[in-house]
Chain A
Amino acid sequence: MPTHLFFHRLSVVSLAIAFSCGTVFADAPKPLAKKPLAVTIEMRDGLRFEPPRFEAKPGDEIVVTLENADSTHLPHNFLVVQPGKREAVVQQATELGEKGQARDFIPDNPAILVHSAMLNPEGTNTVRFRLPDAAGVYPYVCTMPGHGMVMYGAIYSGVNMPPLNKDPNIPQQAVAMALAGGGQRPFVQRMFMPDAGPAAIAVALPGTQNFCWDAGECRLRYAWSGPFIDASAHWRSNGSSLATLGGEPWWKAEKGAFPLKVGASGKVKFLGYKLEAGVPEFHYRVGDTEVFEKITAAPNDAGLVSRFRIPKAAGTVEFAVAPGNAQWSSPAGAMNGGVLKLTGAQAAEFTITATAPGAGHHEHH
């Protein structure tokens, strides 16, 4: 990988250089009290802007460098409009019909704060404008015919940005592109995850449960319900960011505590996973003993069920639960002091259920 150009193409940075790149401005720029906010926005495959949103402050000077990186070779334009005016402007652009081509599908509308020329594939363009002093969510949009209903984004100017998957101001597919797997369930994504080792695996189960399994330590680290992970910051940059979870974990493992005691134990070694209907069964060794572990959602999505298979367990096997907020149970045997003790025969296949706080009670009462 190249390492010596630190131009963060998709991050928002203050960059005075944007002035020197030959863009012709309608008005000679006045000396500014502060540097303008430089933003790079790409038009990408599937009618979308990348990034789909960014933050600014009311009154900010903004220099947007646009690049049509759509490998399907569609032309695009870029307009920033007043809050709430996106759909009206798109409608007006559509109504231009055949006359639209000559004017790059830019309608006459005072709600348009700024617009680019039409960008052909590979085309670049720079637009510069000042955000109004009124705080608000200022949409940006491509008004090429058929694009405007899905190809848009949002400038949060003095307004707090909600979590991506709860943002009503960006298109659904921007959410899908940000969520690993685009909303598919089940889905497995290896990723830099919070509160886990660097070789982590995030899994979205059918339903609402998700978990993080650590391939370095060969164990479940935590579970949460709700949306899967947003890894867009990780993917947008060079990989320095961690993914963010779509919900607060309802259970977390203790640091450094490996739950399984099998044979003489020893070091763990991750051997991979097999997908069964999209859900992984992890395979690893503890010392010399092979272990298979498959985690699925508990009935009614109340938690997680870990199914262990230890085909060649020699002697007793112990599994120590880290209760946290979850309730742990196993049909295989009794828990004594949070430890499940199994005979070698029992360990051939056994399950342990972790029920999320609150969830289990609804089911049983």
Chain B
Amino acid sequence: MRILILSLTFALTTAAFAAPKAKKEKQPPGPGIAPFFTVTPVLTPPLVDPQVGGMDVTADGRLVVAFHRGEVGIYTPKTQDWKIFAQGLHEPLGVLVEKDGSILVMQRPELTRLRDTTGAGVADSYETVWDGFGMSGNYHEFAFGPVRGPNGKLYVTLNLASNGGSIREEIRGEWSPIGVPREKFYTDWKNARGSVGRMYSRVAWRGWVMEVDPATGIAAPFASGMRSPDGINFDSQGNLLVSDNQGDWRGTCELFIVKRGGFYGHPASLVWRKDWDGTEPLKVPVARLDELRTPAAIWFPYGSYANSVTQMLTIPKTPAWGPFGGQMLIGEMNAAKIFRMLPEEVDGVWQGATVALMDSPEIKRGLHRFAFIGDTLYAGRTHLSWAGGEGISAIKPTGRIPFDPLTMRVTPKGFRFEFTEALDPGAGDPALWSARRYAYAYHPTYGSPEINKADVRPVSVKLSADRKTAEVELSAMTVDSIYDFDLAKIKSATGAGPLNPHIAYTLRRVPKK
């Protein structure tokens, strides 16, 4: 299968898929979330641009929000009051509250610790924790995180530069000599642009996940191959998850389970590997890169599910969140959707499904950053110059759980679906279960069409005694594919259809038993 994808990759590179980004595969708007969730706007501070770059919660249950123009505000839900804690940061895209109450902010130029040393309730100390990464001045060199690992270390991700723009004459840090000469970027950009790569990493650690010691500020490279890794977080088991956005070398938006030393597909970052032989990454054969990389655990079907995925966060195990507690959600910029992710490890390989948690205009587009205070999910939006929104919503579960697929796991012969409610006895009819199988190409081109497409019809469906679980058996299992199920025809025992009937499993490995 991998070989097949590769041969197609070569074909596609030269094919005319000039504008996959313009592809529209919008589903009709979701059925609404009113019985299950309430959505209330949170008024943002006056004269603060209400685009949200980061969110976290203090020990005493206040919401910490980093805004687009550099303010860090602290919101007390009880009184609905804002306090501006810090100002003047440069495009902060992540905040993390520390044990002693200080606040870490990842801003464009550095990881900064904000502290109130005078007791005035306002940060007076802006301490640089780590700025040992390069800045070329390119607009796309965003910085995301930090998140805290089980080992107490901090993890951040550094965006690649985009050939939508050049670099500045003055840069910060070392310049990689691998590739188009530096001065061409500002003396001959028109001609250089086509040769630098769609996204490039010519200053240090662009496209890397970095590990930073919060006490010493000493940083070490952790993993490479990222493109535009807006989402970074740990799951409840201590796995580091990073989400990345569709583009060059990313056929669609992807979720990675990131391990130390791993390479996750975008080659630009390879120039900063200590053992790199100096080859321009764009000149390394795709097959070689494909061998080096760890593929995504989850592909988010492009357009029909998501266009730009964002932050992930574990749903709390509270009664109101019911069976969703403990699962992880992930946001989306271009559509008013929040997804659940259901990753699982099969023989050491990560893969899994994704399904909408909410799909409703009520939650609006641009869902970028999340935090839970008790049951309430605070959702902050942004757009910059892309699709999205702004402002903050407080989303509360009503305690009523929708009828939906709860989990989807791979079996040796198909998939096991667990639902939030018992199914109608007739749901065992295989004719009601349909899926599409397809894949995305790994190639330098921006995005990918769906390739290797096939319709999938189960050969059998067996319901469990309580009818909450369905074993769906397929005639064949093709790895490195998405199995995108449409469960609209599956009814619950009370006759309801799923609130979110589309669930897509990225299959990498079929278990033996």
CB within 8 Å of B: which residues of A?
Answer: 1-11, 45-46, 69, 71-73, 122, 173, 176-177, 180-182, 187-192, 196-199, 215-216, 231, 235-240, 255, 270-276, 280
Using known A-B contacts A173-B47, A272-B125, determine if residue A3 contacts B334 with beta carbons closer than 8 Å.
no
Using known A-B contacts A3-B245, A10-B385, A189-B88, determine if residue A199 contacts B390 with beta carbons closer than 8 Å.
no
User: Hey, which chain A residues are within 8 Å of B396, CB to CB?
Assistant: none
User: Hey, which chain A residues are within 8 Å of B128, CB to CB?
Assistant: 215, 270-272
Q: What would be 13 A-B contacts, judged by CB atoms less than 8 Å apart? A: A1-B228, A1-B245, A3-B162, A3-B164, A11-B385, A45-B47, A45-B50, A182-B47, A189-B88, A190-B109, A199-B131, A199-B172, A215-B128
Q: Is B430's beta carbon under 8 Å from chain A?
A: no
With A180-B88, A198-B171 already in contact, 10 other A-B pairs whose C-beta atoms are closer than 8 Å: A3-B386, A6-B21, A7-B385, A45-B46, A189-B87, A190-B90, A190-B109, A239-B384, A272-B126, A274-B117
Docked CA distance A3–B484 (Å): 25
Docked CA distance A122–B385 (Å): 18
Which of B94-102, B132-140, B406-414 touches A?
Answer: B132-140
| Minimal beta-carbon separation of A5 from chain B (angstroms) | 5
Does the CB pair A274–B245 fall under 8 Å?
Answer: no
Does the CB pair A215–B131 fall under 8 Å?
Answer: yes
CB nearest to A194 among chain B residues: B168
Docked CA distance A188–B123 (Å): 13
Majority-rule SS of A interface residues: loop
Using known A-B contacts A71-B391, A181-B88, determine if residue A5 contacts B307 with beta carbons closer than 8 Å.
yes
Does the CB pair B139–A199 fall under 8 Å?
Answer: no
Docked CA distance A231–B87 (Å): 14
Does the CB pair B308–A2 fall under 8 Å?
Answer: yes
Does the CB pair A275–B391 fall under 8 Å?
Answer: no
User: Hey, which chain A residues are within 8 Å of B246, CB to CB?
Assistant: 4
User: Hey, which chain B residues are within 8 Å of A276, CB to CB?
Assistant: 124
Interface string of B409-445 (1 = CB under 8 A from A): 0000000000000000000000000000000000000
| Minimal beta-carbon separation of A359 from chain B (angstroms) | 27
Does the CB pair A199–B43 fall under 8 Å?
Answer: no
Docked CA distance A73–B44 (Å): 12
Q: Is B230's beta carbon under 8 Å from chain A?
A: yes
CB within 8 Å of A: which residues of B?
Answer: 21, 41, 43-44, 46-47, 49-50, 68-70, 87-91, 93, 107-110, 112-113, 117, 123-128, 131, 135-137, 139-140, 142, 159, 162, 164-165, 168, 170-172, 199, 228, 230, 245-247, 307-308, 333-334, 361, 364, 383-392, 446-447
| Minimal beta-carbon separation of A158 from chain B (angstroms) | 27
8 Å CB contact of B124 from A3, A197, A215, A275:
A275
Does the CB pair A239–B386 fall under 8 Å?
Answer: no
Does the CB pair B390–A71 fall under 8 Å?
Answer: yes
Nearest 7 Cβ contacts at the A-B interface: A2-B308, A71-B391, A240-B139, A190-B90, A199-B109, A198-B135, A272-B127
User: Hey, which chain B residues are within 8 Å of A69, CB to CB?
Assistant: 389-391
Using known A-B contacts A197-B171, A199-B135, A270-B131, determine if residue A4 contacts B385 with beta carbons closer than 8 Å.
no
User: Hey, which chain B residues are within 8 Å of A236, CB to CB?
Assistant: 385
Does the CB pair A46–B386 fall under 8 Å?
Answer: no
User: Hey, which chain A residues are within 8 Å of B46, CB to CB?
Assistant: 45-46
Does the CB pair B47–A177 fall under 8 Å?
Answer: yes
Docked CA distance A69–B364 (Å): 11
Using known A-B contacts A10-B385, A196-B170, determine if residue A272 contacts B135 with beta carbons closer than 8 Å.
no
Does the CB pair A189–B172 fall under 8 Å?
Answer: no
Central interface residue in A8, A72, A73, by most chain B CB within 10 Å: A72
Central interface residue in B49, B93, B389, by most chain A CB within 10 Å: B49
Does the CB pair B21–A274 fall under 8 Å?
Answer: no
| Minimal beta-carbon separation of B170 from chain A (angstroms) | 5
| Minimal beta-carbon separation of A67 from chain B (angstroms) | 10
User: Hey, which chain A residues are within 8 Å of B44, CB to CB?
Assistant: 45, 71
User: Hey, which chain B residues are within 8 Å of A239, CB to CB?
Assistant: 91, 108, 139, 384
Using known A-B contacts A1-B245, A187-B87, determine if residue A271 contacts B170 with beta carbons closer than 8 Å.
no
Does the CB pair A1–B50 fall under 8 Å?
Answer: no
Does the CB pair A2–B89 fall under 8 Å?
Answer: no
User: Hey, which chain B residues are within 8 Å of A45, CB to CB?
Assistant: 44, 46-47, 50
8 Å CB contact of B385 from A8, A176, A231:
A8
CB nearest to B172 among chain A residues: A216
| Minimal beta-carbon separation of B248 from chain A (angstroms) | 9
| Minimal beta-carbon separation of B254 from chain A (angstroms) | 14
Does the CB pair B386–A240 fall under 8 Å?
Answer: no
Docked CA distance A4–B21 (Å): 6
Does the CB pair A4–B47 fall under 8 Å?
Answer: no
CB nearest to B203 among chain A residues: A198
Does the CB pair A2–B334 fall under 8 Å?
Answer: yes
User: Hey, which chain B residues are within 8 Å of A2, CB to CB?
Assistant: 228, 230, 245, 307-308, 333-334, 386-388
| Minimal beta-carbon separation of A155 from chain B (angstroms) | 21
| Minimal beta-carbon separation of A365 from chain B (angstroms) | 38
Does the CB pair B126–A274 fall under 8 Å?
Answer: yes
User: Hey, which chain B residues are within 8 Å of A237, CB to CB?
Assistant: 139, 384-385
Docked CA distance A129–B38 (Å): 40
Docked CA distance A6–B446 (Å): 13
| Minimal beta-carbon separation of B70 from chain A (angstroms) | 7
Does the CB pair A190–B245 fall under 8 Å?
Answer: no
Using known A-B contacts A216-B135, A238-B384, A238-B386, determine if residue A198 contacts B109 with beta carbons closer than 8 Å.
yes
Docked CA distance A238–B47 (Å): 20
User: Hey, which chain B residues are within 8 Å of A240, CB to CB?
Assistant: 139, 164-165
Does the CB pair B41–A274 fall under 8 Å?
Answer: no
Docked CA distance A271–B385 (Å): 32
Docked CA distance A251–B415 (Å): 70
User: Hey, which chain B residues are within 8 Å of A275, CB to CB?
Assistant: 123-126
Docked CA distance A187–B93 (Å): 21
User: Hey, which chain A residues are within 8 Å of B334, CB to CB?
Assistant: 2, 5
Docked CA distance A323–B355 (Å): 64
Does the CB pair B137–A192 fall under 8 Å?
Answer: yes
| Minimal beta-carbon separation of B52 from chain A (angstroms) | 11
Using known A-B contacts A73-B41, A238-B139, A274-B126, determine if residue A181 contacts B87 with beta carbons closer than 8 Å.
yes
User: Hey, which chain B residues are within 8 Å of A197, CB to CB?
Assistant: 135, 170-172
| Minimal beta-carbon separation of B366 from chain A (angstroms) | 9
| Minimal beta-carbon separation of B128 from chain A (angstroms) | 4
Docked CA distance A64–B47 (Å): 24
Docked CA distance A6–B333 (Å): 13
User: Hey, which chain A residues are within 8 Å of B385, CB to CB?
Assistant: 6-11, 236-238
Does the CB pair B89–A122 fall under 8 Å?
Answer: no
Central interface residue in B46, B126, B135, by most chain A CB within 10 Å: B126
User: Hey, which chain A residues are within 8 Å of B90, CB to CB?
Assistant: 189-192
Does the CB pair B47–A176 fall under 8 Å?
Answer: yes
8 Å CB contact of A215 from B70, B109, B308:
B109
